[in-house]
């Protein structure tokens, strides 16, 4: 008897330092029990201290990567990370619509750790139009504030997640990591189909080793979905995995800057 690998396709940029991007995605997907395939949208000259250069992959080659894997492999979920230009966003959206995969986890990467916006106005418009194609989007607070054009505090997490979900017609995991006034990490999951909101709590870990946490979490969710878990259970399991990964990597050293999580916690 043969069985199929539960498989996830990650579409994102490459991080030469290995902490984030495609590299973090593959580690996270593997750690959560699924097989990872990848489509690379850009390469970076990057380490724990910063990003020093970005080399966009031509859109014609991105499409060829997409078709090569989608024509051959059955994916239980797709994870999408940073799509750096309006053309790339449009291409990925158009190509994925040619295939029947419904469980798309989209991490709407729009703001750098420095606070700088990563997408211009045209790209942001295309990204917003793409959000309704997703099964789940995973914005952090600065990204969520851009999506609804208002400030969000701890008391407004549930309200904001619901507004984003109903505006873009998708489920939302609003990540609360930027709220630093609590010893507790609170993420809010809004399920669009049922209009249900769930608060997910984990202990906040004090560490500088958080490079790639957004990539790691969204990939873990996609992996759990590919294993057949319902969305609420997949998100809760992925959040628990990430918290464990941060905890076990908090005192480790890699490079001179912000290190990664421990992608394979014991």
Q: For residues 64 and 70, what is the distance between their CA atoms, to the nearest angstrom?
A: 10
Banded pLDDT at 121 (limits 50, 70, 90): confident
User: Which residue among the candidates 95, 138, 186, 213 is catalytic per the annotation?
Assistant: 213
User: Which residue among the candidates 210, 236, 239, 259 is catalytic per the annotation?
Assistant: 210
Question: 41 catalytic, yes or no?
Answer: no
Question: 255 catalytic, yes or no?
Answer: no
For 191, list phi and psi in degrees, rounded to 5.
-95, 110
Q: For residues 228 and 56, what is the distance between their CA atoms, to the nearest angstrom?
A: 34
Bridge-based pairing state of the strands 77-80 and 104-106? parallel
Banded pLDDT at 181 (limits 50, 70, 90): low
pLDDT in tens, 16-52: 999 999 999 999 999 999 999 999 999 999 999 988 9
Cβ count within 10 A of residue 4: 9
Q: For residues 127 and 188, what is the distance between their CA atoms, to the nearest angstrom?
A: 22
pLDDT given for residue 178 in this prediction: 66
Task: Walk me through the domains of the chain, giving residue ranges and CATH numbers.
Answer: 7-249 (3.40.1190.20)
pLDDT in tens, 53-63: 999 999 999 99
For 95, residues 6+ apart whose C-beta sits below 8 A from its C-beta are: 63, 66, 67, 70
Asked whether the beta carbons of 133 and 169 are under 8 A apart, the reply is no
Cβ count within 10 A of residue 237: 17
pLDDT given for residue 117 in this prediction: 64
Of 213, 218, 201, 223, give the one whose Cα is nearest residue 154: 201
pLDDT given for residue 64 in this prediction: 98
Question: 196 catalytic, yes or no?
Answer: no
Question: 2 catalytic, yes or no?
Answer: no
Banded pLDDT at 180 (limits 50, 70, 90): low
pLDDT given for residue 113 in this prediction: 58
Asked whether the beta carbons of 158 and 144 are under 8 A apart, the reply is no
pTM across the whole model: 0.96
Q: What is the mean pLDDT of the chain?
A: 94
User: Which residue among the candidates 215, 239, 249, 259 is catalytic per the annotation?
Assistant: 215
pLDDT in tens, 233-256: 999 999 999 999 999 999 999 999
> Tokens in use for 161?
């997640």
Can you say whether the dihedral through the CA atoms of 123, 126, 128, 133 is positive or negative? negative
pLDDT in tens, 64-113: 999 999 999 999 999 999 898 999 999 999 999 999 999 999 999 887 65
């Amino acid at each position: 008897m043969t069985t199929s690998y539960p498989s996830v396709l990650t579409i994102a940029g490459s991080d030469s330092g290995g902490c984030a991007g495609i590299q973090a995605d593959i580690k996270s997907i593997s750690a959560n029990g699924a097989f990872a395939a990848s489509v690379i949208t850009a390469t970076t000259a990057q380490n724990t201290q910063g990003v020093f250069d970005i080399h966009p992959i031509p859109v014609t080659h991105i499409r060829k990567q997409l078709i090569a894997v989608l024509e051959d492999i059955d994916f239980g979920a797709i994870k999408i990370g940073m799509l750096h230009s309006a053309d790339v966003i449009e291409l990925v959206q158009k190509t994925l619509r040619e295939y029947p995969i419904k469980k798309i986890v989209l991490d709407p990467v729009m703001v750098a750790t420095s606070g700088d916006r990563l997408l211009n106005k045209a790209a942001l418009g295309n990204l917003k139009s793409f959000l309704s194609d997703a099964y789940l989007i995973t914005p952090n607070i600065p990204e969520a504030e851009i999506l609804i054009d208002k400030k969000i505090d701890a008391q407004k997490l549930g309200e904001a997640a619901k507004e984003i979900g109903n505006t873009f017609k998708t489920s939302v995991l609003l990540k609360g990591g930027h709220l630093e006034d609590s010893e507790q990490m609170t993420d809010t999951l809004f399920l669009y189909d049922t209009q249900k909101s769930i608060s997910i709590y984990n202990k906040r870990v004090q560490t500088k080793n958080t490079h790639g946490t957004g990539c790691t979490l969204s990939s873990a969710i996609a992996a759990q979905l590919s294993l057949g878990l319902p969305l609420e259970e997949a998100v809760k399991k992925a959040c628990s995995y990430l918290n464990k990964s941060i905890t076990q990597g908090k005192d480790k050293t890699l490079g001179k800057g912000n290190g990664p999580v421990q992608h394979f916690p014991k």
